[in-house]
A and B are shown apart, each in its own frame.
Chain A
């Protein structure tokens, strides 16, 4: 017999209790994995999008805590284009709108210049791409079009005005396939922000070495104090919405794991208390105290491992289900990274160890006399 056989069989003594504890842990881990997963995917989606569109630097207004609310003058874009080593500059005005009839509450609207590389980069699957001079016309991402049930030629209402859908496009990124594209000057008119863009994505020609990026960054920063230039990675971390989503995921994880640890503590305490005679016997036949401690910790660990694995599966199913809910499908793409699953498992194991610490210590300190005194 191996030690693990004993651990497993001890848990099997009270299958209902073990399964209920595992269920509690699984729910906790499932919640953590899916929430943190969403937060991280959201961040990754931005990063992936910016990298694929060719972005080294993000230029936006300095100081504003809400990126969507602030903007910079379009003339800045011209100045950036004229800098050496700058390969490509994409300017966009961005907004979030709701389509309440379809239960979509956070749909991204992008305003692009007619010659923006993004319009050529996305794959127009039906209709045509936007052209200069398109008034009250939009392109829809395929995911959004499906959620709204709109086709080329249909009308949608945006900012209280009717718009005609001229094209539907596909994109690798959920941030685009769930978005509305309009021409920049149209969006500026709609949002009442003439000559404003939310920011610029700048691609630098890196043939001259990695420090050309920093060089360009310094040159743009020299335009004035109201302009902030950040490498894409740090820009994404600074997005207010991402910070809030992350804080939410962290709070939920904390709550889930504390309650999970408590439920493990409850189960292991019950288990140790009702087995005091058995544990006394282990001491009497000469088990070293640390071995008794290890036995109880291992029992808890096994509970947590099963709970963690079940929780990961639960998390995966949740994420997949969320991706099918139209209200979230623009924001969640149903994928989870292995590192999130690992983090969730590690958290569960930590909770298990923490919860088992007191009962295990209690069992270790039990004297063999307990076995002799308990006569049944």
Chain B
């Protein structure tokens, strides 16, 4: 019998207790996998939706914290296009629409010019792209079309106005698949914000795009643009990924994910502490015998910490399986559809398992110290 087998046997001695403790750790891990997976997945999805269309920079009004509340004059687009290093500019108006009940925050609808690069980048799976003649036409992402149960030629109501489904597109990812696209002018009219956009999407020239310092120079140029009277435009140009990461929504999601996970981990670690402490208390005599037989203090410590880690290791595995299952299940619901990717990124899994092992070590250390302090003489007299 090797040392690891001894650990496993000790853990199995009180099966129910070990199972409950494992479950506690598993729930903490599953919480982390689900919530952190959710927030980082949402961030990745949103960033991918930009990068997948070749968007390098996003131009918004400075100081805005929520993407959708930014508002810019569409005419700035011409100035942006003339900045050296800029390849193409796509004005974009985005609004969140509640298509009926069921969705937590609403479905993003983008308004894009029909001849812009964003519109042209869409992969149409049925129907066609919008053209100048398609007044009040709309394109739906595949999942959105499926969940609304709409086909080409059907009508959907956006802010009480009927739009005709002209095409269905394959999104870049699950998030993109739950969006809709209409003509910029139509959305502006609908929102009562003619001539205004929420952001400009900027594609840099290939040689600039690959060169970080060149791209930064373009950002500087854009941020220093002036209007006709020499007043600064008050706009910020951010790399797409950074823009997504800095938004209030993402910050909130991140804070909530890590906060709740930390809470679950703390309670889980208290439970490991409790279990291991009880285990040491009830084995005082046994530990005394081990020491009498010549075990070093460090081996006793390793045994107890090892048992705690074994419990957490098993718990972590169960938790990862549980978390992945929950993410799969939730991503299929309408409530979170599009916000949650069905897969969890390996770094998230690694971080969750790592956290579980840390709580195992934390929860095991004090009991191990108590075990190390057991006096051979006293524990043998105990009986």
In the assembled complex, B266 has its CB within 8 A of some CB on chain A? yes
Stretch at the interface among A79-87, A120-128, A188-196: A188-196
**CB neighbours of B68 from chain A (8 A):** 66, 68-69
Chain B stretch 219-233: residues in CB contact (< 8 A) with chain A: 232
B20 to chain A, nearest CB (A): 4
In the assembled complex, B292 has its CB within 8 A of some CB on chain A? no
Cβ proximity bits A47-81 to B, threshold 8 Å, 1 near / 0 not = 00000000000000111111011111100000000
In the assembled complex, A154 has its CB within 8 A of some CB on chain B? no
Q: Are B98 and A63 neighbours in the complex by a CB distance under 8 Å?
A: yes
Please judge, given known A-B contacts A17-B278, A256-B263, whether A270 and B62 are in contact too, CB under 8 Å.
no
In the assembled complex, B134 has its CB within 8 A of some CB on chain A? no
Interchain CA distance A58-B74 in the complex, whole Å: 30
In the assembled complex, B192 has its CB within 8 A of some CB on chain A? yes
Q: Are A24 and B270 neighbours in the complex by a CB distance under 8 Å?
A: yes
A30 to chain B, nearest CB (A): 9
Interchain CA distance A157-B232 in the complex, whole Å: 13
In the assembled complex, B158 has its CB within 8 A of some CB on chain A? yes
**CB neighbours of B66 from chain A (8 A):** 66, 68-69, 96
In the assembled complex, A2 has its CB within 8 A of some CB on chain B? no
Q: Are B248 and A192 neighbours in the complex by a CB distance under 8 Å?
A: no
In the assembled complex, A341 has its CB within 8 A of some CB on chain B? no
Q: Are A192 and B71 neighbours in the complex by a CB distance under 8 Å?
A: yes
**CB neighbours of A95 from chain B (8 A):** 64, 69
Number of A-B contacts (CB under 8 A): 191
Please judge, given known A-B contacts A68-B66, A69-B68, A98-B248, whether A269 and B277 are in contact too, CB under 8 Å.
no
- Contact residues on A (Cβ < 8 Å of other chain), bracket: 35 or more
Q: Which of B20, B69, B263, B264 contacts A69 (CB 8 A)?
A: B69
Q: Which of A66, A159, A193, A226 contacts B234 (CB 8 A)?
A: A159
**CB neighbours of A256 from chain B (8 A):** 263-264, 267
B interface with A by C-beta (< 8 Å)? 14, 16-17, 20-21, 23-24, 27-28, 31, 35, 61-66, 68-69, 71-73, 95-98, 103-107, 158-160, 191-193, 196, 198, 232, 234-236, 248, 251-252, 256, 259-260, 263-264, 266-268, 270-271, 273-275, 277-278, 281-282
Ranked nearest first, the 3 interchain pairs of A and B with the lowest CB-CB distance are A65-B106, A63-B159, A160-B234
Question: What are 24 A-to-B residue pairs whose CB atoms are below 8 Å?
Answer: A24-B274, A27-B267, A65-B105, A66-B106, A71-B193, A95-B64, A97-B63, A105-B251, A190-B234, A192-B196, A240-B106, A247-B104, A248-B260, A251-B260, A252-B256, A252-B260, A255-B27, A259-B28, A260-B267, A262-B24, A262-B27, A266-B24, A266-B271, A269-B20
Not counting A252-B260, A265-B20, a sample of 9 additional A-B residue pairs whose C-beta atoms are within 8 angstroms of each other reads A64-B96, A65-B107, A68-B69, A105-B65, A226-B159, A244-B104, A255-B27, A263-B271, A266-B271
